[in-house]
């Protein structure tokens, strides 16, 4: 059995080089769909979409969510975007780099699709922010909580009538934090340092 490997960036670039594939991927972000449903949405024959779906699947951008039974005993594939899971604590620097590359490619596809839709007259908002801040440990904890809290709430209680929005948050230390700060503790007559 062949070992599954994450796609290289080249195959992802190739898959996203066609505007139709970007539109298909964008459509699947809303909900999983079959080639027949995607063809109705795109206004083309399902047979013409199979090539595009195969390219997206080969690049690791989509996967088969389920096999749906049709009348007459036939079965159709239902596709969905492939989730991108962060690597665990034991991941190598290369595994982190591959994850970051996949995440950036997915973000690029989001931005490209929104830009194309905006040019076509749709109302789309795209917000970028890249900055460097110097924060105390306490302020960094507060920032992280304030950024992640509304995201967690929206994931737990989604608004079915809301607007699908991709949120990418990255907080990266640009320097060594050094040893954790040790707090002085009062031990009666003797002042010590907590570990």
Residue 108, domain extent: 9-128
137 part of a folded domain: no
Contact 56, 27 (CB under 8 A): no
Rg (alpha carbons) of the chain, rounded to whole number: 23
Per-residue confidence in pLDDT tens, the chain, 195 aa: 344 444 455 677 777 778 788 888 878 877 899 999 999 988 888 888 899 999 999 888 899 999 999 999 899 999 998 876 677 778 888 878 877 877 787 788 788 888 888 898 989 899 888 889 999 989 999 999 999 899 888 888 878 788 878 788 888 888 887 766 555 555 554 444 444
- Per-residue pLDDT at 195: 47
66 part of a folded domain: yes
CATH number at residue 19: 1.10.10.10
């Amino acid at each position: 059995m062949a070992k599954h490997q994450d796609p290289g960036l080249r195959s992802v670039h190739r898959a996203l080089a066609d505007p139709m594939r970007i539109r298909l991927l964008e459509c699947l972000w809303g909900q999983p769909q079959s080639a027949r449903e995607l063809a109705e949405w795109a206004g083309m024959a399902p047979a013409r979409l199979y090539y595009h779906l195969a390219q997206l699947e080969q690049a690791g951008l989509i996967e088969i969510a389920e096999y749906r039974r049709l009348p007459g005993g036939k079965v159709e594939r239902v596709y969905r975007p492939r989730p991108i899971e962060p690597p665990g604590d034991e991941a190598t620097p290369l595994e982190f780099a591959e994850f970051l590359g996949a995440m950036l490619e997915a973000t690029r596809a989001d931005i490209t699709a929104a830009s194309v839709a905006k040019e076509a007259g749709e109302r789309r908002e795209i917000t970028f922010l890249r900055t460097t801040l110097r924060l105390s440990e306490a302020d960094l904890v507060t920032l992280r909580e304030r950024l992640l809290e509304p995201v967690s709430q929206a994931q737990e209680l989604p608004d079915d009538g809301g607007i699908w929005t991709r949120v990418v948050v990255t907080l990266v230390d640009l320097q060594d934090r050094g040893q954790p700060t040790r707090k002085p503790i009062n031990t009666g007559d003797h002042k010590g340092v907590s570990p």
